[in-house]
Amino acid sequence: MKDKKYDLIVIGAGSGGLGAALGMQQLGMDVLLIDRNSENIGGECVNTGCVPSKALIHLGKQLHKARLSKELGLEISGEVDIKKIKNYIHLKQEAIKVHENVAYLRKKGLDIELGEASFYSKD
């Protein structure tokens, strides 16, 4: 790949980078996507931000509703199982990573390099 010329090189496979790389590839451009490692594919949103936080918010709402049900005559008891919560979050992340991983993206024809990106000249 070192000698191949690209129309666009995208650094970072977060939601913006994935969108730009795949979108431009669909328009017929030769695109190279670079990210530090395969675990970063999907970026902060999938791995540590949006998906985990929204899963926690969803579960928090469920817990809040369960506690409010006492006022309606339904008594619910039990403890929060953090292991099951982490598993729930992981399942949500894995559902997204089915389409946001190196093998899938390469199968779609996108060139991907894993490692640190850097500029080697001012031009």
User: Does the reported pTM lie above 0.75?
Assistant: yes
CATH code for the domain of 8: 3.40.50.720
Could you tell me which of 93, 77, 76, 96 has the C-alpha nearest to residue 85? 93
**Domain assignment of residue 11, given as a range:** 1-42+100-117
Examine residue 80 and state whether it is found in any structural domain, yes or no: yes
Residues 51 and 84 reside in one and the same domain: yes
Examine residue 52 and state whether it is found in any structural domain, yes or no: yes
Residues 50 and 92 reside in one and the same domain: yes
In one-letter notation, the amino acid at residue 67 is: R
CA dihedral for 78, 79, 84, 88, sign (positive or negative): positive
The region of weakest confidence among 68-72, 84-88, 114-118 is 68-72
Q: Quick: pLDDT tens for 10-30.
A: 999 999 999 999 999 999 999
Examine residue 123 and state whether it is found in any structural domain, yes or no: no
